[in-house]
Chain A
Amino acid sequence: MTARMKLGAFLWATGHHIAAWRHPKAHVTAGVDIDHYIQLARTAEAAKFDMIFCEDAAGLREANVGIASQTSRSIGFEPISLLSALAVQTSRIGLVSTASTSYNEPYGLARTFLSLDHLSGGRAGWNLVTSASPIEAANFGSTGLKPHADRYERAREFAEVVTGLWHGNAPGHDGQSFSVHDPLDLPRSPQGAPVMVQAGASDVGRDLAARTADVVFTAAQTFEEAKAFYDDLKGRMAAYGREPDDIKIMPGVSPVVAQTEAEAREKHEELQELIPDDVGVALLSSYLSISDLWRHPIDGPLPELPESEGMKSRQALVVEQSRRDGLSIRQLARHFAGARGHWRIVGTAAQVADELQARFEGGAADGFNVMPSYFPGELDAFATLVVPELQRRGLFRRDYEGRTLRDHLGLKRPA
């Protein structure tokens, strides 16, 4: 049997395109409509996706209220409550939520995810993040965002405590950041332990992933970037006594797909035109950790940037792209706003499938985290156009073979 790719459906607000909510067919009230999410989850499940994935930030995404009010990202469901609701409205699909190691305690987080795992019959996963935003930090104290290295040191201990609790190890942890007295008061997970997901891309982030993750998300534009990341991460695993196949690497991809290439391009243009310049520039500057990007001429090049304490890797990726393609701030902002630096493919189902297949078979990905431009339309399009094409090529399952998320992903069950 040929290997099958893994697919995640990344659900976010009205869509991954910054202007998604303004699209005539976007479901604009997504952030207050649970039935909409139930529908999306069922669409993804009917298409046999491995999982749905929810991002998370414990705070607004954008500090400038004028900018924030032109996006749909300031309000939405808290993901653990959302996925707990979806757990009993679906039966097979995996349910992965992001949660921060910086603003939670390991005992509570381990308990909550294990509970979601029981509610769903073994379909839960946790995307570990260290939270890079100063906006979030201000909701948890007055000392501001902790340095990248400190956040990752805390995350390493956090992950160790959580997996220990899930594996039912002898209780009692008294460490640098955490102390835990008791074992969890819940039965063992139906899948051994919930699935551990990570998206760290910096050196420490990759090391933590190589040591503890079952699934890794990443942002890569080109085949070469994706392949370099893939080889690097898999190469780090031996040091922790793990097999390369113990981690599934799933880069993000934001396809705009239609029956014909012309239609797909038109759909893409329609979305691009809905981006206000100030929103695009603000989004770009937040990922670059530079606050005064708007002072620079919008049709000029990107200025030199200071070293970032936030998402180092994403900054490097954007800078690299701007230099490579000679893009102005406006062009870069527009481009970036589409999928926040993730890979975008605009075309027919066959074209999208070709590109996915090339990265999958070229050893640059084990699967993909699909980031629809707007909901529900672009998830529907992927499910009805691209998934059948991948199935015809034998690249994707026609039905679920197991019950748990670990089964879907082909992951070992922890002892």
Chain B
Amino acid sequence: MHLAISLDIAAATREAVLDFSRISKFVLQAEAAGVDMVAISDSADGPSSSPFEATTLLAALATVTNRIGLVASASTIAHQPYNLARRFASLDIISHGRAGWNATMAQSAGEAANFSRPEGFSDADFRRRSEEYIGIVQGLWQGWDADALLFDKSGGRFHDPEKMHLLDHKGEFFSVRGPLNVARSPQDTPVLVLSGLSEPDLDNAARTADVIFMDSGSVESTKIRFDDLKRRVAARGRDPDAVKMLATVPLAADETPTTVADRLETQFRAKSCDGFDIRLPARHPALDDFAERVLPELRRRGLVRETYRGATLRAHLGLAGGGDQ
């Protein structure tokens, strides 16, 4: 079972602004517990009690952790695709192949109003724009072959010109020549996480996503959506296992570790998801409970692996391109 912890820093404490050392302690604790990844949600449109924009926080966390995957939200409204692709490519090298981008498919009207788009986009336009955007970002991430850099001092060849590829994208919303001026990712490309999907987004998600966060309902309804999604993935010629669907579960304070473990086990054994995106407020008691009581229980039941086996986020998730698994 794959496990992500979504840190909702904005919702964490109304009382105090979190400081970096508190957040990093929290993430180190999740790392010690062997969690696949921590996801930092972010949006530039509401009151926040976190002083950090997610990609800057991710970069800082990358230097104080070693194994855990680090995923940040970044909006397609707030960034140009070239800049976003570049930021995450760079984060992936800083973290030695542990970075992921969480793209939300839901438009935030408040955000558009802060980015010189007071009228926003129609749903249909936003959807076509997002699809084009994701295609550009993934294309840019593949602009340099993994063996493009030669570092040949005496021969005067820094890189092999044949192994750098222009994107030359000309589309409805964007025109991007490329290539990126960042080297190829240590895990092939950063992990693409999609969230906020509605029905018309599913085919594009099936084509492009590595991970999908999906709201969980009853076991039955979640399973129907899981099976539908995996069918769509296969229909696009991809291995159904190449996309991991994680069901989002907020943890209620009054649940005992056993009831939480039971709930997750039932959902997982019913094959209604590949794992879970656990929503935790960034407070230690919540993580303490999860790391020290729920996780050992899941391990005891043989549902969660003992330790990290690989070095990259793709390796943790069992995705191709991640090196040793």
Say whether A associates with B: yes
Give chain A's interface residues, CB within 8 Å of chain B.
Answer: 21-24, 26, 28-29, 31-32, 34, 38, 57-61, 65-66, 68-72, 74-78, 80-82, 84-85, 87-89, 103-105, 107-108, 111-112, 114-116, 118-119, 135, 138-142, 177-182, 185-187, 276
Question: Which chain B residues (273-318) contact chain A, with CB distance < 8 Å?
Answer: none
State whether the Cβ of B114 lies closer than 8 Å to any Cβ in chain A. yes
How far apart are the CA atoms of A73 and B93 in the complex, in Å?
A: 16
Our pick among B44, B46, B182 for the contact of A75 (Cβ within 8 Å) is B182
Which residue of chain B lies nearest to A182 when distances are taken between CB atoms in the complex?
A: B114
CB <8 Å contact, A103 and B83: yes
List B61-119 residues whose CB lies under 8 Å from chain A.
62-64, 78-80, 82-83, 86-87, 89-91, 93-94, 110, 113-118
**Cβ–Cβ contact B115 & A107, under 8 A:** yes
Contacts A38-B63, A115-B57, A119-B20 known; A139 to B82 CB distance under 8 Å?
yes
- In this complex, the interface size class of chain B, counting residues with CB under 8 Å from chain A, is 35 or more
Q: Across the interface, which residues of B come within 8 angstroms of A58, CB to CB?
A: 82-83, 86, 181
Whether B90 and A78, one on each chain, are in contact in the complex, defined by CB atoms closer than 8 angstroms, is: yes
Complex A-B: 17 CB contacts under 8 Å:
A21-B151, A29-B151, A38-B63, A74-B164, A75-B181, A77-B90, A78-B86, A78-B87, A84-B56, A85-B63, A88-B20, A112-B55, A112-B56, A140-B176, A179-B113, A181-B114, A182-B114
The answer to whether B80 and A103 have CB atoms under 8 Å apart is yes
The distance in angstroms between the C-alpha atoms of A181 and B46, with both chains bound, is 11
The smallest C-beta distance from A117 to any residue of chain B, in angstroms, reads 9
Query: How far is A358 from B114 in the complex, measured between Cα atoms in Å?
Result: 48
Report the separation of the CA atoms of residues A75 and B164 in the bound assembly, to the nearest whole angstrom: 11
- Of the candidate stretches B155-163, B233-241, B243-251, the one touching chain A is B155-163
| Contact in complex: B113, A182 (CB < 8 Å) | yes
Residues on A with beta carbons closer than 8 Å to the beta carbon of B44 = 107-108, 111, 185
Quote the shortest CB–CB distance from A27 to chain B (angstroms): 10
* Contact residues in A for B158 (Cβ distance below 8 Å): 21, 69-72, 74
Does A77 contact B94, Cβ atoms closer than 8 Å?
Answer: yes
- B159 touching A138 by the CB < 8 A rule? no
Chain B residues with Cβ below 8 Å from A24 are 153
Q: Could you say which residues of chain B place their CB within 8 Å of the CB of A85?
A: 59-60, 62-63, 94
Please, which residue of chain B has its CB at the minimum distance from the CB of A115?
B53
Known: A75-B181, A182-B114, A186-B51. A34 touches B94 (CB 8 A): yes
A87→B63 CA distance, assembly (Å): 10
- Checking B45, B52, B58, B91 against A182 with a beta-carbon cut-off of 8 angstroms, the contacting residue is B45
Cross-interface CB contact of B53 among A60, A72, A111, A179, cutoff 8 Å: A111
Q: Known contacts A65-B164, A87-B56, A114-B51; can you find 16 more A-B pairs with CB under 8 A?
A: A59-B181, A76-B181, A80-B59, A84-B56, A85-B62, A88-B24, A108-B115, A115-B56, A139-B82, A139-B176, A139-B177, A181-B113, A181-B114, A185-B44, A185-B46, A186-B50
Choose from A70, A75, A118, A185 the contact partner of B144 (Cβ within 8 Å).
Answer: A75
User: Do residues B56 and A89 form an inter-chain contact, with CB atoms below 8 A?
Assistant: no
Cβ-defined contact, A31 with B183, below 8 A: yes
List of B residues within 8 angstroms of A142 by Cβ: 170, 175
B11 beta carbon closer than 8 Å to chain A: no
Interface string of B23-51 (1 = CB under 8 A from A): 01000000000000000000011111011
CA distance A118 to B59 in the complex (A): 14
B135 touches A (CB below 8 Å):
no
Chain A: minimal CB distance from B325 (Å):
23
Query: In the complex, how many angstroms separate the beta carbon of B11 from the nearest chain A beta carbon?
Result: 13
Q: How far is the CA of A59 from the CA of B83 in the complex (A)?
A: 10
| B270 close to chain A: CB less than 8 A | no
With a cutoff of 8 Å between Cβ atoms, the chain A residues found around residue B157 in the complex are 69-70
What is the minimal beta-carbon distance from A411 to any residue of chain B, in angstroms? 22
A140 B52 Cβ-Cβ under 8 A: no
Residue B17, interface by CB 8 Å: yes
